[in-house]
Amino acid sequence: MEHKIIGPGPYRATKLWNETIELFRARMPLRRHRIHFKTYDNCFAALEAIDCLHNLLRDNQNFGPDVTRHQTIQLLKKFKKNHVIEDVKGRWGHEDFEDNGYLYRFPPTSPLKPYPKRPHYRADVIRFPDWSEYEAVTSNPHTSMKPIVMNSEMWYKRHSIAIGEVPACRLVQRRALTDANVEDLWKTMTLTHLQKILGLHSMDGVLDSKYVNPKHIIYNVYNTNKQGVVVLEEKSKELPHWVLSAMKCLANWPSSTDLNRPMYLGFEKDVFKTIADYHSEMKEPLLTFQLFDVFVNILGLLQKKQVAVEALQVCCLLLPPENRRKLQLLMRMMAKISLNREIPPLCESVGTRMLMVQTFSRCILCSRDEVDLDELLASRLVTFMMDNYQEILKVPVSLQTAVEDHVAHLRRVQIKYPGSDLDTTIPTHSFCRQISADEFEYQKVNNAQEPLATLLEEIIMNKKLSTKDKKKKLKQFQKSYPEVYRKRLPTPECEAALFPEKAKLKPQLMFFTLKNPFQPFHRTRSFRM
């Protein structure tokens, strides 16, 4: 069984969990083992399971070669707790798996996780009355426009420009955009931009839009210092001074040390422990519980570095400003420490780079529901973010430019032609409402066909039209709206009754021969012989 890349989409963490279980069951060698003078068939030792699963995870592009043996052991502990494996005596449910020779086996069936049931939404129909009012909808997607039906006079006015009757125009100032309109525009365009980067048809099951606060997006874009770090207005949300001082000390080691600080053997380890303890006590990760699924989906794009960077740029804009600032400061410290060769080793058993990832990955990303692959997923994402933090924590220029240009467009003056609009009193920002499919069908039959029937009747009753022009217009109407035409003129006799009868021509004089009185006589040029 070959592994497959799990791309972005709903329930990606569950898909990865199930795929890992299936791969492990398919690849783990089973054989006979003897322990304590007793023989067990179709089983494996703990150390054999660790070696096999570790190699599988490192070779799997969904996880990568940075997976450690310690992370593999942690995953096998969760396997035993969730009855993916059991010991040879059939015991499971506890995370007491260790790197030793103890024997384990697979249960008869593999307990794959079911996918959450997505709520069924009926595909109702949303109708918009007019293209000229479309911009109002895009500026505020939560507003709605009621269906507007044109009568024949409106229809002629609407299409007067198309047939060449261009009257004098005037400039009309658009209705001013409120702060709420601008915020909704930022939210809508940001989510649309993210959905396009992820390559998804919908964000359902990936990100709930109700957790997206447009005020956070706007603040993160426009309130930054020269280094691009968010500047907070509320100082109470800042990092404590002693934590910030400790982070600066290690980030700039050894240039940050001076004679006023107590220097002793192991000083840098104590400073690091202070920083780690503070972040481990946070009640919620910096990337927030609500955004866990969307960040997990970005893991499927890490092979396309630039695409993953763009996706992370947008996702980090969704964070509360205080979270974004703490993330920026923490990532900068982690990157500097991992690249600093002058700083003494902070841990004897783990390298500095891996220590940064293992220490801070959980305070950056984890799930509220304790997803079983949290540690592996968070480690891989944090590693990528640490290596590319300068690009990831920049404001995405393309998104900012697109929103600002659209806002400026909506605020520009508009050219109006007298008589070319439905009603000059209709505001630029109209409203629509979502209607059911049954109501749509009713309106389509009644509201939409009534003005067309009126228009057909006016063509029929128009005495100024010549017979030729009237037939031409009726033919065009029949081609465009056959149902309305058939309802008014169901038979050819009804069509013929619309036009006066022409005077009957005199019968042509016919000559008959004597031999066959019913056969016409063909006239000759002359009777002369």
Residues 297 and 206 in one domain: yes
Residue 256 falls inside a structural domain: yes
Q: What is the pLDDT of residue 82?
A: 85
Q: What HEC string does 2-50 produce?
A: CCCCCCCCCCHHHHHHHHHHHHHHHHCCCEEEEECCEEEEEEEEHHHHH
| Mean pLDDT over the full length of the chain | 78
Residues 482 and 509 in one domain: yes
Q: Which domain holds residue 30?
A: 12-105
Residue 378 falls inside a structural domain: yes
Residues 289 and 391 in one domain: yes
Residues 354 and 385 in one domain: yes
Copy the structure tokens of residue 26.
């398919």
| Tens-place pLDDT, residues 435-458 | 667 667 666 666 667 778 888 888
Residues 433 and 456 in one domain: no
Q: What is the pLDDT of residue 135?
A: 46
CATH number of the CATH domain containing 306: 1.10.555.10
Question: Is 308 in contact with 298 (CB distance < 8 Å)?
Answer: yes
- Overall number of domains in the chain: 4
Residues 169 and 48 in one domain: no
Q: What is the pLDDT of residue 67?
A: 85
Rounded to the nearest 10°, the torsion over CA 420, 421, 422, 426 is -160
How many CB atoms within 10 Å of residue 298?
A: 24
Distance CA 257, CA 249 (A): 7
C-alpha count within 13 angstroms, C-beta hemisphere, residue 306: 0
Residues 351 and 214 in one domain: yes
Residues 378 and 424 in one domain: no
Q: What is the pLDDT of residue 329?
A: 94
Residue 7 falls inside a structural domain: no
Q: What is the pLDDT of residue 374?
A: 72
Residues 169 and 241 in one domain: no
Mean pLDDT per 10-residue run, the chain (529 residues)?
Answer: 68 83 88 85 90 89 83 87 86 83 86 65 37 42 44 52 51 72 92 91 86 93 90 89 90 68 77 92 91 88 89 94 94 91 84 90 84 77 91 91 90 63 44 64 67 83 84 86 84 78 54 50 51
Residues 477 and 426 in one domain: no
Copy the structure tokens of residue 118.
């997505």
Residue 411 falls inside a structural domain: no
Q: What is the pLDDT of residue 419?
A: 56
Domain stops at, among 373, 400, 427: 400
Residues 284 and 358 in one domain: yes
